[in-house]
Amino acid sequence: MFIKRIEVENFKSFFARQSIQVGRKNIFIGKNGSGKSNLLTALSALFLYGEERRPQHNNNEEPSSVEVEVDNSDRRFLLPSTFVLKAIFKDGPEFIINDKPISKEELRGLLENAGFTHECFVMQGKVNDIALMNSKERFKLISRIAGVEKYEDSKALAISLLNEESEEKIEALIEKIELKMKISEEYKRKAEEYDKLCKSKAEAEFELLNYELKELNDEIGSIEIGQTVRAAEQDEGMLEFEIRACKEEMDKLALKINETEEFLEKFDRMIVNQIKEKLAKDGPNNINPYDHKVSVLSKAQLETVQKLEEEEKKEKEKYIELKALRFLDALPVKVSSDAARIDEEIRILEEQLRIKREEIRNFKSDFQSKENYKSLISQRKQLWIKDKQIKEELKSIGESEKSCENKILYLGKLSINIYEMLKNSAGVVGTVFSLFDIPDNLLDAFEAVTRNSLFWIVVEDDEVATKLVDNVEGRVTFVALNRVSTRTRSRIRIESVHSLSDSIECDQKYKNLLEMICRDYYVSSNATSALEISEKYNINVVTLEGDIFSKNGTITGGYENSNQILKELKNCKRRMRELKEELRKTTGEISAINEKVKYSELGNEDDSRVLDNLHAVERYLSLKIELLRSKRIVVPEIPELEMEHLQAQERIPKIRLELESIESQMARASEKKMKIDEAIQKVKLIESSAVELENLKSKEKSLIDSLYLKKANENIEESSKLQRKHLLIDRRTHLMRKIGVSDFKSIFIKHSKDELISSLKEINKKLKVYSGFSKREILDDQRSELRQRLEELRISKSKILEFISTLDRKKEDTFNLSFSMISDNYSFFFRKFTGKSSNLHLRNEGIDITVDGRTCDLPSMSGGQKTVIALSIIFAIQKNDPSPFYVFDEIDANLDMEHCLRLSEIIRESSSQYFISTFKAEMIEACDRYYGVISRDKQSYVDEISKELACETIRPAQ
């Protein structure tokens, strides 16, 4: 058994009729005061929970009603497989099942027989009540759950029999019971006949409803054939804008896919198919067959470059040594015997060597700057890439900024076409929202105060406004800067509040405009302080959350016009400024590197050999000094050194040819790799674009459906035929819901309308015999119990005493069995919540709780700990005596994220139906249907929403 549909009307804050289809796990999300708890209270009132609190129904002329459609296919109720239970509250509650009145007592009997207990309703405060129970109260709770009260009632009845003054009273009671049993048998016969007639009546009524539905279809069809409805273009605001945006995105994607497919047609079809197969099989990694080849060639190139560098280094060393020896051979050193003269020559040579080394250092500095040429080229390429990326992001941010502006204009009911025409006109400054940079923490407050002023068009003077008004079709508000003035007013100095206009920075020429739209409002951090200050100083105050406290005493709370688009627009503008600054710096860096590149290109290609010659002179001077000092030096033979130098020179071209070959192969492989990489990216682009296109199609369909629904709900003036058609369609929808069909075209009628009416009259005539007959279910086990009691009353007083003793034992056994099961269940759920051990202990008609072997002092525990214990008890009781559905009203209020996730897992694993209200995002994963509850003009509305919207809605509420 489970609930399929819930409908409320004029119940608490739900004034208008609200009807929702529900699933197995249902979650209700909304702000405080939106009416979530009222919806759950409606369910509890319908199922007779909390009667002593008497639900607060609306005291207007219309009655309050709560209705549920129940799937009873498991026959938990002794009713048809599908039935509608309805409660009407006005002077007193009235209950109806399938359009037939039923008393409260009869409904209570049906609920008890179906296994309903009040433990399936866990409303606000119940968790705390259970958590704060003392030992004896917990004992009483489990005794009631175990059904001990029934044994106590039977025991009291038996004791009263013992106290009767005479055996005659017992015999009279026996006769009375026998008479009641006879009446019960007769009653059963009547009930069976009554059931049979009711079933026949229901079948006839059902077929009549089918007949009426067929007639409605025929009449609707005739209206549709004859009517011509004129096409009217209506501005539907954000929905039409988003639909157009979707279509534009779809067109762009389709164009991108076509262009990409045209690009791929130039490739070898076999290669493209191989890419697709590898993508499908191995994912995005290791797709390009040239990756390995390029890697191998890169490694070979690196090794060859290293080899070339080593040979060039050797060649330079041989060249310098050979050059120095030739200098030494050409300019032989004459070693004098005069030591003073030798010292003077060495000093002169050392000075020459110092000068030559200084020359080498200077030359190396210039040469090194020219060697940086390749590095500069690489840096310039990176900066060019960065410059391109910044420009692309600037373009994307610009499109997002324009989209946000268009959405804001729609919110303000300002036509985009009108704004596009006006914004480029001479003398137009812009819209109000575009002129001020509002801090994030003041956006709610600013929007609540300014409201429609955000969409005013600001112009330089009233002459410009006058000219533009004549050229604009539609309603537009202009504000001329030369006409804006504010009165001089004294600021109130209060530590905890500050003026809204003073808190926002702007251009000085817009200061008067800012003060005008802020309307002398002050900002406070919280509602309590705002109310106190408004009353004390007679000023207007707005909180950071957008709640307004006027000096005339009115309070406007929960301003719901979303400022998310304003925040998005602000972020776009901020990012645009950052990107422009970054682009300016990047452009400057590119210019600087270009100058350095030009300078480096002026270098001489022979600088390297010049440096080698300088090193040769340096070596020559060093050899000369060494010869003068030691009179003798060992140097290699010039012919031998020339041979080694020549061999080194011959090896270098060969290595360079080898390097050129590798580079040529690598260039070809890299080119092929790049082309295949490009093809891979194009294939990936097609696949991702196709997925995105499908998502956009789904979004477009959803938006179009929403647009049609919006148009269907608008109160527009139509022709009389169209009004008639709408009435007939509404009636047809009502009948389809009532008889449970989804296709109004597949209707089959077995009998004629006259036969059905005649049959129904005959059945009603027979049912008149049972007028005033209050239907009850008389079960075989109840008759057996009566017979058993009858036999017990016939025996002696000693047997009655034995019966009392048996009741006491059964009561104790029943309690012990229930306590044992509930205790085991409690330990199980507590461990599931916390991972720790906790148990219930029975002591002297009291029940204590221990955690890890220590008795708990519940009043001293935190709110979260008490909630975990209370929920463990609740789930233990519910597992012991399962109910078909459960109602949980913010039971997770005191739980942290970890315990909320555990609670969500427990609910998700259960097969029962759940109705949950919460402010915690973790609970969303436990449910499969999501409903948003909102409040407008002190009235509540509920509608099913998507999981994504539920997640977005619940985050600000946390």
pLDDT > 90 in the chain, percent: 7
Q: What is the pLDDT of residues 680-722, one digit of tens each?
A: 777 777 777 778 778 878 877 887 777 667 665 554 545 566 6
The per-residue pLDDT for 929 is: 93
Q: What is the pLDDT of residues 649-658, one digit of tens each?
A: 788 888 888 8
pLDDT at 927 over 90: yes
Interval 916-945 mean pLDDT: 91
The winner for highest mean pLDDT among 273-287, 407-421, 530-544, 741-755 is 530-544
More confident residue, 814 or 161: 814
Query: pLDDT band at 29, cuts 50/70/90?
Result: very high
Closest CA to 426 of 402, 454, 401, 461: 461
Q: What is the pLDDT of residues 551-569, one digit of tens each?
A: 877 777 654 544 566 667 6
Query: pLDDT band at 228, cuts 50/70/90?
Result: very low
Cα(327)–Cα(707) distance, integer angstroms? 96
More confident residue, 398 or 781: 398
Q: What is the pLDDT of residues 712-752, one digit of tens each?
A: 555 454 556 666 666 767 776 766 666 655 454 555 566 67
Cα(584)–Cα(946) distance, integer angstroms? 44
Query: pLDDT band at 776, cuts 50/70/90?
Result: very low
Query: pLDDT band at 780, cuts 50/70/90?
Result: very low
Interval 773-779 mean pLDDT: 44
Q: Is the pTM of this model over 0.95?
A: no
Query: pLDDT band at 956, cuts 50/70/90?
Result: low
pLDDT at 775 over 60: no
H/E stretch holding 920 reads none
Residues of the domain holding 445: 412-520+553-561
Stretch among 52-56, 84-88, 804-808 having the lowest mean pLDDT: 52-56
- Does a structural domain hold residue 362? no
Closest CA to 304 of 655, 667, 670: 655
Interval 211-230 mean pLDDT: 60
Interval 400-412 mean pLDDT: 65
- The mean pLDDT of the chain is 75
- Does a structural domain hold residue 515? yes
- Does a structural domain hold residue 721? no
950 Cβ contact list (under 8 Å, min separation 6) = 27, 29, 924, 930, 932
The per-residue pLDDT for 630 is: 65
Four-residue CA torsion sign, 52, 53, 59, 61? negative
Query: pLDDT band at 232, cuts 50/70/90?
Result: very low
Query: pLDDT band at 798, cuts 50/70/90?
Result: low
Four-residue CA torsion sign, 144, 146, 152, 153? positive
Q: What is the pLDDT of residues 37-66, one digit of tens each?
A: 889 888 888 888 765 455 555 666 678 889
- Does a structural domain hold residue 491? yes
Map residue 334 onto helix, strand or coil. coil
Question: And the tokens for 138?
Answer: 């917990």
> How far apart, in Å, are the Cα atoms of 758 and each of 389, 510, 761?
82, 82, 5
- Residue 915, Cβ density class (10 Å: 0-12 exposed, 13-18 middle, ≥19 buried): buried
Q: What is the pLDDT of residues 564-608, one digit of tens each?
A: 666 676 777 778 888 888 888 888 888 877 776 665 554 444 455
pLDDT at 523 over 80: yes
The per-residue pLDDT for 161 is: 62
The per-residue pLDDT for 5 is: 93
More confident residue, 229 or 602: 602
Stretch among 390-394, 470-474, 507-511 having the lowest mean pLDDT: 470-474
- Does a structural domain hold residue 541? no
**For the chain, what is the domain count?**
1
- Does a structural domain hold residue 441? yes
The per-residue pLDDT for 27 is: 94
Stretch among 17-31, 576-590, 924-938 having the lowest mean pLDDT: 576-590
Domain containing residue 470: CATH number: 1.20.1060
595 Cβ contact list (under 8 Å, min separation 6) = none
Cα(113)–Cα(845) distance, integer angstroms? 29
Interval 493-515 mean pLDDT: 81
Cα(376)–Cα(370) distance, integer angstroms? 10
- Does a structural domain hold residue 302? no
- Does a structural domain hold residue 156? no
More confident residue, 805 or 240: 805
Interval 128-150 mean pLDDT: 82
Phi, psi of 498 (to 5 degrees): -150, 155
pLDDT > 70 in the chain, percent: 67
The CB density around residue 295, as the number of other CB atoms within 10 Å, is: 12
Cα(731)–Cα(745) distance, integer angstroms? 15
Interval 428-446 mean pLDDT: 79
The per-residue pLDDT for 774 is: 44
pLDDT at 3 over 80: yes
Q: Are 907 and 1 in contact (CB under 8 A)?
A: no
The per-residue pLDDT for 229 is: 39
Stretch among 148-162, 518-532, 625-639, 903-917 having the lowest mean pLDDT: 625-639
